[in-house]
Amino acid sequence: MYYYIIIKKGPNMRKLTIKLLVIILLLSCVFILFSCKNISNNHISINSSNQEQSQRLKYLVLGDSIAEAIAGPSPLSERDYYGYCSVIGKINNFEYHNRSVSGAVVSDLYEDISTNKDTDGYMLYTLLKSSDIIQISIMGNDLMNNSDYILQNIPEYGYTKYNELVEYVYSKIDEIVIHLKELNPNAVILMQTLYNPYVENSEIFPNWLKDYLYENAQIDMIEEVDKLIYNANHDIFYKYLENNPGAFEIVDVYQQFKDRASQVGNNRLIYFDTIHPSNEGHANIITATQNVLDKLGLSDSNAISNYKEMKIEQLNRLFSDTTVNITNCISQINSSNSIDTINTAYFNSTNNVKPKYKAKVGE
């Protein structure tokens, strides 16, 4: 059924019709403006969110099993909360990627980054070109794989074999840095020094070699290995930086481990395989890395509070039914003002206490 409204024509009626049309037009404009305002606000909000996302720094870790963090963090289910790549990424709100490979030597790393296209789902080439921060852990396998040979030849040849290895590794580091700079000239490269994994009663070296060195050259194995690693760090990384100022930033893991070992002993920093960093070892790599990020202005302003939250969550989840004094430890963590002091509180409180592993809620 249709209803018709009949309007009589006349001067007064025309005026009324015009007024009604004006009102309708005004209301339409208000409606359109209001709708546009809502659309505009939504658009700004989305852009703001996207801009925030795009402003997250991209953090890429390359190298060997130290960086890969499969051997070391214990248990493996806690890798994302102990392994330094994941922790640095999380607490700084980075977009982070770990492309390290267990067993890698300098030639492997150079070969991996020299493939100028993505060859698989890991998209290494894309990450190399787009990352803001590239952290590298390398040289450990080159040095340790040849250390028996180097040490064995010291009594007769001195450090000739060591010098040959240093020259080779230095040349490969040069190739790696040059290629990274060509791919991504704006990326900040962080180069880790190598820590000393050798502790007393370590099985890294055979007993006959220890005896041979002492009998033929009066060399103490522990002191000699520490000297070897210290010299390699300086003859390769520090010397490269001296010859090529600004090529990379050094994350001095060696010194961080040495300082911490003087307080708690090296055994706490090394995994039971006597090579890889333990949970606490990784925590010290986190400290050394975060110090450099802070210095460069690349760290998140909430990194320390984020790290506190992470360690407190782990405490409650892993140690709530143990002898750990949770309340006291949380109090120490909350009063801490650095990554290093948070680590001290957490690992001193949990040392030698077996956790009750529970998966994090939602994982």
Q: What is the pLDDT of residues 4-23, one digit of tens each?
A: 333 344 444 444 444 444 44
Range of lowest pLDDT (207-211, 238-242, 277-281):
207-211
Q: Is residue 4 part of a domain?
A: no
Q: Is residue 35 part of a domain?
A: no
What is the arrangement of strands in the sheet containing 249-251, beginning at the earlier edge strand?
Answer: 95-98, 58-63, 133-137, 188-192, 249-251
Instruction: Kindly state whether residues 307 and 288 are assigned to the same domain.
Output: no
Please give the average per-residue pLDDT across 257-269, as a whole number: 94
Please give the average per-residue pLDDT across 34-58, as a whole number: 44
250 DSSP β-pair partners: 191
Instruction: Kindly state whether residues 216 and 329 are assigned to the same domain.
Output: no
**pLDDT over 50 at 25, yes or no:** no
pLDDT band at 53 (very low <50, low <70, confident <90, very high): low
DSSP 285-312: HHHHHHHHHHHHT-S-TTHHHHHHHHHH
Instruction: Kindly state whether residues 267 and 348 are assigned to the same domain.
Output: no
Q: How many distinct structural domains can be found in the chain?
A: 2
Range of lowest pLDDT (97-101, 271-275, 339-343):
271-275
Instruction: Kindly state whether residues 196 and 329 are assigned to the same domain.
Output: no
**pLDDT over 50 at 291, yes or no:** yes
Inter-residue contact 288 to 252 (CB < 8 Å): yes
Inter-residue contact 27 to 65 (CB < 8 Å): no
Instruction: Kindly state whether residues 294 and 205 are assigned to the same domain.
Output: yes
Inter-residue contact 279 to 76 (CB < 8 Å): no
Q: Is residue 167 part of a domain?
A: yes
Instruction: Kindly state whether residues 95 and 215 are assigned to the same domain.
Output: yes
Please give the average per-residue pLDDT across 187-216, as a whole number: 85
Q: Which of 316, 299, 308 is nearest to 335 (CA)?
A: 308
Q: In this predicted model, which residue has the larger pLDDT, 30 or 47?
A: 30
| pLDDT at position 1 | 43
Range of lowest pLDDT (12-26, 185-199, 210-224):
12-26
- What sign has the CA pseudo-torsion 178, 182, 184, 186? positive
DSSP label of 360: P
86 CB burial (10 A radius; 0-12, 13-18, 19+) = buried
Q: Which of 83, 61, 64, 63 is nearest to 271 (CA)?
A: 83
| pLDDT at position 363 | 56
Tell me the whole-structure pTM to 2 decimals: 0.83
Q: Is residue 62 part of a domain?
A: yes
**Mean pLDDT rounded to a whole number for the chain:** 85
**pLDDT over 60 at 28, yes or no:** no
Q: What share of the chain is helix, strand, coil (3-state, %, to 5)?
A: 60, 5, 30
Q: What is the 3-state secondary structure (H, E, C) of 199-245?
A: CCCCCCCCHHHHHHHHHHHCCCHHHHHHHHHHHHHHHHHHHHHHHCC
Instruction: Kindly state whether residues 257 and 344 are assigned to the same domain.
Output: no
Of the residues 300, 324, 340, the one at which a domain ends:
300
CATH of the domain at 267: 3.40.50.1110
**pLDDT over 70 at 47, yes or no:** no
Amino acid identity of residue 255, one-letter, is Q
Domain with 280, as residue range(s), is 56-300
Q: Look at the block and give the residue holding tokens 């248990």.
A: 75
**pLDDT over 70 at 308, yes or no:** yes
Q: Is residue 25 part of a domain?
A: no
Instruction: Kindly state whether residues 243 and 344 are assigned to the same domain.
Output: no
Please give the average per-residue pLDDT across 285-314, as a whole number: 98
| pLDDT at position 360 | 63
Between CA 177 and CA 171 the distance in angstroms is 10
Q: Is residue 1 part of a domain?
A: no
Of the residues 300, 317, 343, the one at which a domain ends:
300
Q: Is residue 347 part of a domain?
A: yes
Please give the average per-residue pLDDT across 190-203, as a whole number: 86
pLDDT digits (tens, 9 = 90+) for 152-171: 888 888 899 999 999 999 99
**pLDDT over 90 at 335, yes or no:** yes
Instruction: Kindly state whether residues 206 and 76 are assigned to the same domain.
Output: yes
Instruction: Kindly state whether residues 318 and 211 are assigned to the same domain.
Output: no
Token pair recorded at residue 76: 């493996």
- List C-alpha distances in Å: 113 to 62, 85, 124, 133, 136: 9, 19, 7, 15, 12
Instruction: Kindly state whether residues 169 and 77 are assigned to the same domain.
Output: yes
| pLDDT at position 115 | 87
pLDDT digits (tens, 9 = 90+) for 350-360: 999 999 876 66
Q: Is residue 37 part of a domain?
A: no
Instruction: Kindly state whether residues 305 and 158 are assigned to the same domain.
Output: no
| pLDDT at position 285 | 98
pLDDT digits (tens, 9 = 90+) for 103-156: 999 999 999 999 888 888 889 999 999 999 999 999 999 998 888 888 888 888
